[in-house]
Structure 1
Amino acid sequence: MAVYTSVNRSELSDFLLQYSLGELVEFSEIGDGIENSNYFVTLAPQNEERVGRDAGNGQHQKWVLTLFENLKAQELPFFLQLMTWLAEKGFPVPAPCVRKDGTLNGTLRGKPSILVPCFNGRSLDNPAPAHCERVGKLIAEMHQALIHCPQQRSAPRNIDWMRSQASRLSGLIPQSDMKLLRSAIDHYGTMKPEMEQCPSGVIHADLFKDNVLFDGDEISGVIDFFHACNDSLLFDLAVAANDWAVDGKQQYDKLRLNALVTGYQSVRPWSDSECSLWPSFLHLAALRFWLSRLESRYMPGYQKVSTQGDKTKEPDELKRIILNLGLVATK
């Protein structure tokens, strides 16, 4: 993610003393993303008997260090335990490394911080339908597995949050955007009772293309679980659809969208109500992320002071999805 907190070699070496992983070889900033400060960290194992699937027979090992910029230490257990739970179930999720004192996170430069394994693979800018089908299937498999997950967290971006954000944005965005925003929130308010009757559970809630890694044609990693919460399962798929299955004009590519949905339904078929409410879930996913991007773009906050990397994503991409869905009046 974009880097907001700089770390020097001495500080990082001291932090690593709390792990039994080895000595620091090199580290570098990761400039992609918008929310936390991340670094690639390369370590030389202390010996070839180091326990763990990443031991690598004495080879240098690559890790990812994350410093949380907007999450407090007391908020982390849900996310870190969720990642550990999924990794133990065999999902390609980077479980946080356990420290010598048995905890999953420490503090670096005054920020809660974790170390996770760095997975092979890369995110895809232009996924093919086959990639979308694999992603849809994996989302459904996680949803099915997470039925038994003990972790719980209420969705923070509820309708009260939406209305509060809209009020804060008044006067900061064009009047036409404000009118569309309020109409979109009202639409969700009308559909909300029906949507909340659909199946729900723990979801990732942020499955954009940059949070899924592919090694060849196979998914090698699912990362950035720090928006995970309990919410409608179909919302999770809608978030993915609004990034994986749209073209440059933010219109849905039928082949990719169908592949994503087909992959999902091959594991968890939709109910009749989910089928009828799918457009409203696409609308809700676009609305929530339009609001969060408007917040990042127009409101003061830590994202204004990154040392490198793009600080914000383009809000109008999500606005165009709302317009293209045609569920709310634009005049």
Structure 2
Amino acid sequence: MSVYTQLQSHDFESILSQYNLGQLVAFEGIAAGIENTNYKLTLKKAGQTQYYFLTIFEQLKKSELDFFMPLLSHLQHNDCLLAAPIESIHGDLTFTIKHKDAAIFYCLAGDTLDTPNLKQCQVVGQQLARIHLAAQSFKQSHDNSRGFYWLQRQVNSGQLNLSQDDQQLMHNELSYLQNCWQLWGENTELPKGFIHADLFPDNSLFVDDELSGIIDFYAGGSDYWVYDLAVCIMAWCQNDKHQIDDKFKGALLKGYQTERKLSEAETKTLPDFLRLAVLRFWVSRVLVQNQQQQASLTTFKDPNHMKALLLSLSDL
């Protein structure tokens, strides 16, 4: 975790000359970024102090930003709670600094959550449904880069450095889900659209029980809505034994269905989509663990939590 691209005062002043946001008072690099460089900016305009985030995209391609930046603006204009990029005086949503693409965002109030409560689960479920519905009218599309076929390639690669038992467990689960995937593709009552695909508690900001915004949409793409709902249940409704808590799951589903009712097919297939979500995040956490260990780092999320959850959901 680091500020990968170092900027100085004159860099910020050059950037801000393309915006009508005020004068630079202070800037601070944010060490919590994993994939991007983030700075918090303090600006003053007409005697008022305002706070903004400047994000330098270290990995996303320009073609990806040309999808995500307009999408965020579209979602915000349709009353979704998030921070959209701010337009420059020329109407641009991004700019280039040190040969990298970047954008400025309003600074949302609140903090990420460590232990969500029932009310917060309900609120985030409602917001997820609003995002799904609002994105329907956005004309561009973008593939889910970590969808089923990505998962299939990773599990079959033989390069996850797993024990023989864990490798067999993953293969057995993938085999089951391959049959499910074929059946889902034949079911017209499983709607698709844009999904966030990574809506964990640390990708939301709350002030007490009030949601101020959802962040980090860059893992998103087109996929089954019920899969996104499964990811959210997996992320928000686990108990300390790495099992799904039915009360929290019920609260999240109640919130979602205040905005959009699930089809009968979605309700029926949700348990298997939940297994797909858990397998996907088990694999991705194994990949991160392997990368971090090679770099002698230890700040990764334990993949075994996802393994334990998968075992609680399946008959394997």
TM-score, length of structure 1 as denominator length:
0.86
Pairing partner for 1:163 from 143, 149, 152: 152
Q: Which secondary structure state, in structure 1, belongs to the residue aligned with residue 279 of structure 2?
A: helix
Q: Give the whole-Å Cα distance in 2 for the aligned partners of 1:288 and 1:186.
A: 14
1:189 corresponds in structure 2 to 178
Deviations 1:62-85 (A, max 9, x none): 111112122112210111111000
2:36 corresponds in structure 1 to 36
State the percentage of identical aligned residues.
36
2:26 corresponds in structure 1 to 26
Deviation at 1:256, TM superposition (A): 0.9
Q: Residue 321 in 1 paired to residue 309 in 2? A: yes
1:153 corresponds in structure 2 to 142
| Structure 1 residue identity aligned to 2:235 | D
1:267 corresponds in structure 2 to 259
| Structure 1 residue identity aligned to 2:276 | L
Deviation at 1:152, TM superposition (A): 1.0
2:73 corresponds in structure 1 to 84
Deviation at 1:244, TM superposition (A): 0.9
> Tell me, which stretches of 5 or more residues in structure 2 are unaligned?
none
In 2, are the aligned partners of 1:205 and 1:236 still within 8 Å (CA)?
yes
2:203 corresponds in structure 1 to 211
Deviations 1:105-132 (A, max 9, x none): 1123332211100011112211111111
Change (3 A) 1:127 1:60: same
Change (3 A) 1:296 1:134: same
In 1, are the aligned partners of 2:81 and 2:127 still within 8 Å (CA)?
no
Q: Give the whole-Å Cα distance in 2 for the aligned partners of 1:294 and 1:140.
A: 30
Q: Give the whole-Å Cα distance in 2 for the aligned partners of 1:12 and 1:181.
A: 48
> Tell me, which stretches of 5 or more residues in structure 1 are unaligned?
49-57
| Structure 2 residue identity aligned to 1:270 | L
Change (3 A) 1:90 1:109: same
| Structure 2 residue identity aligned to 1:106 | F
Decide which moves more: 98-107 or 62-71: 98-107
Decide which moves more: 8-17 or 244-253: 8-17
Q: Give the whole-Å Cα distance in 2 for the aligned partners of 1:295 and 1:17.
A: 41
In 1, are the aligned partners of 2:160 and 2:287 still within 8 Å (CA)?
no
Q: Which secondary structure state, in structure 1, belongs to the residue aligned with residue 7 of structure 2?
A: coil
Deviations 1:73-101 (A, max 9, x none): 22101111110001111222211011233
1:312 corresponds in structure 2 to 300
Q: Give the whole-Å Cα distance in 1 for the aligned partners of 2:244 and 2:204.
A: 20
Q: Give the whole-Å Cα distance in 1 for the aligned partners of 2:295 and 2:16.
A: 29
Deviation at 1:214, TM superposition (A): 1.3
Q: Give the whole-Å Cα distance in 1 for the aligned partners of 2:184 and 2:6.
A: 43
In 2, are the aligned partners of 1:206 and 1:228 still within 8 Å (CA)?
yes
Change (3 A) 1:260 1:103: same
In 2, are the aligned partners of 1:169 and 1:295 still within 8 Å (CA)?
no
Q: Residue 113 in 1 paired to residue 102 in 2? A: yes
Q: Give the whole-Å Cα distance in 2 for the aligned partners of 1:248 and 1:33.
A: 27
Q: Residue 14 in 1 paired to residue 6 in 2? A: no
In 1, are the aligned partners of 2:230 and 2:277 still within 8 Å (CA)?
yes
Deviations 1:125-175 (A, max 9, x none): 111111111111111122222222222112222333223223445262322
1:55 corresponds in structure 2 to none
1:125 corresponds in structure 2 to 114
In 1, are the aligned partners of 2:37 and 2:55 still within 8 Å (CA)?
yes
Change (3 A) 1:11 1:181: farther
Instruction: Provide the alpha-carbon RMSD of the alignment.
Output: 2.4
Q: Give the whole-Å Cα distance in 1 for the aligned partners of 2:192 and 2:149.
A: 19
Decide which moves more: 148-157 or 11-20: 11-20
In 1, are the aligned partners of 2:292 and 2:300 still within 8 Å (CA)?
no
Q: Which secondary structure state, in structure 1, belongs to the residue aligned with residue 182 of structure 2?
A: helix
Change (3 A) 1:205 1:74: same
Q: Give the whole-Å Cα distance in 2 for the aligned partners of 1:35 and 1:287.
A: 22
Q: Give the whole-Å Cα distance in 1 for the aligned partners of 2:212 and 2:253.
A: 20
Deviation at 1:195, TM superposition (A): 2.8
2:92 corresponds in structure 1 to 103
Change (3 A) 1:224 1:15: same
Q: Identify the structure with bigger relative contact order (alpha carbons < 8 Å, sequence gap 6+).
A: 1
